[in-house]
Amino acid sequence: MANTLFIGKVYLCFDELPSTNDYAREFIAKSKPPEGTVVRAVSQSAGRGQFGSQWLSAAGKNLTLSIILYPAWLPATAAFRLSEAMALAVRDTVLRTLRLADGSVVRLKWPNDVYIGSKKVAGILIQNAISGRSWQSSIVGIGLNINQAEFSPELPAAGSLALASGAAFELEEVAGVLFECLEQRYLQLKNNHIAALRADYHACLLGLGEPRQFVRPGGDRFEGVIQGVADDGSLILRTGNGTAHFAVKEVQLV
């Protein structure tokens, strides 16, 4: 399995769960599982993605799991730093698994989706428990499409590592790589290498410096150029009206 210090050392794998994030949250409420505990489901019937969307995954084809973390050392206002580190870790996993000569094809779509070309291969949903200025816990839910070859017509942008490479992969081997990458990026964050993480994130940010279409929750579309991402996680856009910051729920990249 993974060559890690703590992530994946407690590894709970279930044939089926409604949601690995929900199971992890209930686990924390009843006890305090060790940091790095992983909850994985071969089949997940009620997985969730960003913006309240459902995460659809074929049973036994992909990785759907949650990691329990306790980043008490992270300021309560710096939630995006964790999101940033976890997104980079999933991208690192894709790069290592596919052994790509050109890593520029694997991009991060703000805030933390992973794309190979125009296809989304991974999504992350992080649920943080913060009380006042004290960070209680974080549950990092990850859906990484590995061997799925067919997707619902409702998901035209969905892809997988198998579709990108033409090869099938051993899920446990990919899980081991994922745990290693997650731990490396988490420790990088814990050691306060904030500037390096931000530089890596911007280096692979989808649409950076390019005119792109964006949509507001009400359906209004507009064009903007991504200037970067602020420390609070807001997207910095230059539009015809000047430069503005947009929170995750205020705008989506089309």
Evaluated on CA atoms 195, 246, 88, 21, the torsion sign reads positive
Query: What DSSP string describes 134-201?
Result: EEEEEEEEEEE--S-----TT-TTB--HHHHHS----HHHHHHHHHHHHHHHHHHHHTT-HHHHHHHH
Domain containing residue 152:
11-203
| Per-residue pLDDT at 242 exceeds 70 | yes
3-state secondary structure of 225: strand
Within this chain, do residues 121 and 177 fall inside the same structural domain, yes or no? yes
Is the same domain home to 95 and 164?
yes
What's the CATH code of the domain at 218?
A: 2.30.30
Residues 82 and 53 grouped into a single domain: yes
Q: Examine residue 216 and state whether it is found in any structural domain, yes or no.
A: yes
**The predicted structure's pLDDT at residue 251:** 92
What's the rounded mean pLDDT across residues 156-175? 95
For residue 153, what are its two tokens? 């017509």
107 closest CA partner among 213, 18, 208: 208
* CATH value at residue 68: 3.30.930.10
Q: With a cut of 50, say whether residue 51 has pLDDT above it.
A: no
Please tell me whether residues 79 and 27 are part of one structural domain: yes
Residue 6 within any structural domain of the chain: no
Averaged pLDDT, 97-103: 86
Average the pLDDT over 88-114 and give the result. Answer: 93
Q: How far apart are CA 217 and CA 233, in angstroms?
A: 18
pLDDT at residue 155, rounded to an integer: 79
Does some domain include residue 120?
A: yes
Q: Are 123 and 232 members of one domain? A: no
Residues 179, 99, single domain; the answer is: yes
The angle that helices 194-203 and 79-98 make with each other, rounded to 10 degrees, is 60
Residues 115 and 229 grouped into a single domain: no
Total of domains in the chain: 2
Looking at the domain assignment, is residue 48 inside a domain?
A: yes
Within-domain flag for 186? yes
> What pLDDT does 46 receive?
64
60 and 91 fall within a common domain: yes
Residues 126, 221, single domain; the answer is no
Which residue in the block uniquely carries the two structure tokens 């209680």?
Answer: 136
Per the listing, tokens 């067919």 go with 150
pLDDT in tens, 176-201: 999 999 999 999 999 999 999 999 99
pLDDT category at 56 given cuts 50, 70, 90 is low
| Residues 214/224, Cβ–Cβ less than 8 Å | yes
Buried b (16+ CB within 10 A) or exposed e, 134-150: ebebbbbbbbbbbbbee
Residues 239, 197 share a domain: no
Looking at per-residue pLDDT, the higher value among 87 and 102 belongs to 87
Instruction: Band the pLDDT of 138: cuts 50, 70, 90.
Output: very high
Q: What is the mean pLDDT of the chain?
A: 92
Does one domain contain both 178 and 225? no
The answer to the question of residue 127 being in a domain is yes
Domain match, 44 and 104 both? yes
Q: What is the mean pLDDT of residues 100-116?
A: 92
**Higher pLDDT pick, 26 / 152:** 26
Global pTM value: 0.94
